[in-house]
Amino acid sequence: MSTQVNQAVQSKQVELVSRPEGMPTSDNFRLNQVSIAPIEEGEILVRNEWMSVDPYMRGRMKEGDSYVPPFRIDEPLEGGCVGRVVESKNDRFAEGDLVLGNQGWREYWKSDGEGVQKIDPELGSPQAFLGVLGMTGMTAWVGLKRIANLRSGDTVFVSAASGAVGSIVAQIAKANQCTVIGSAGKESKIEWLRDKAGIESVINYKKTKNLSDELARLAPNGIDVYFDNVGGDHLEAALEQMNDFGRIAACGMISTYNATEAPSAPRNLFRVIAKRIRMQGFIVRDHMDDYEEFISDVSSLIRSDQIVWEETVTEGLENAPKAFIGLFEGDNLGKSLVRIS
281 binds its own copies (CB under 8 A): yes
Phi/psi at 205 (5° precision): -65, -20
Cβ neighbors of 124 (< 8 A, separation 6 or more) are: 132, 133, 299, 302
**Which of 282, 299, 319, 339 touches its own copies by CB under 8 A?**
282
Q: Is 284 in the site for its own copies (CB under 8 A)?
A: no
**3-state SS assignment for residue 299:** helix
**CB closer to its own copies, 164 vs 277:** 277
237 within 8 A of 231, measured Cβ to Cβ: no
Q: What angle do CA 285, 290, 293 make, to 5 degrees?
A: 140
- Segment lying near its own copies (by CB under 8 A), choices 98-106, 131-139, 157-165, 260-268: 260-268
Pick out residues in 113-132 that bind its own copies (CB under 8 A).
none
Q: H or E element: which one contains 178?
A: none
One residue of 86, 250, 308, 313 binding its own copies per CB under 8 A: 250
For the chain, how big is the Rg over CA atoms in Å? Answer: 21
Distance between CA atoms of 220 and 137, rounded to whole angstroms?
29
Query: Of 125, 129, 122, 45, which is closest to residue 84 (Cα–Cα)?
Result: 45
Out of 266, 298, 307, 311, the only residue in the binding site for its own copies (CB under 8 A) is: 266
Q: In the complex, what is the shortest distance from the CB of residue 40 to its own copies, in angstroms, rounded to a whole number?
A: 36
264 scored as a contact of its own copies (CB under 8 A): yes
Q: Tell me if 273 contacts its own copies by CB under 8 A.
A: yes
> How many amino acids of this chain bind its own copies (CB under 8 A)?
34
155-158 vs 335-339, strand pairing mode:
unpaired
Shortest distance in whole angstroms from residue 56 CB to its own copies = 9
Binding mask 33-62 for its own copies (x = CB under 8 A): --------------------------x---
- We find the least distance from the C-beta atom of residue 321 to its own copies, in angstroms, to be 23
Q: How far is CA 40 from CA 44, 96, 199, in A?
A: 8, 18, 51
Question: Shortest Cβ distance from residue 236 to its own copies (Å)?
Answer: 9
Nearer to its own copies, 9 or 253 (CB): 253
Would you count residue 260 as binding its own copies (CB under 8 A)? Answer: no
Residue 215 interacts with its own copies (CB under 8 A): yes or no:
no
Contact between residue 130 and residue 52 where contact means Cβ atoms under 8 Å apart: yes
Binders in 8-27 for its own copies, by CB under 8 A: none
Q: Distance between CA atoms of 78 and 320, rounded to whole angstroms?
A: 12
* 121: helix, strand or coil: coil
Give the C-alpha separation, 263 to 32, whole Å: 36
Using CB under 8 A as the binding rule, whether residue 272 contacts its own copies is answered as: yes
Binding site for its own copies (CB under 8 A): 59, 65-67, 231, 235, 244, 250-253, 256, 262-264, 266-283, 286
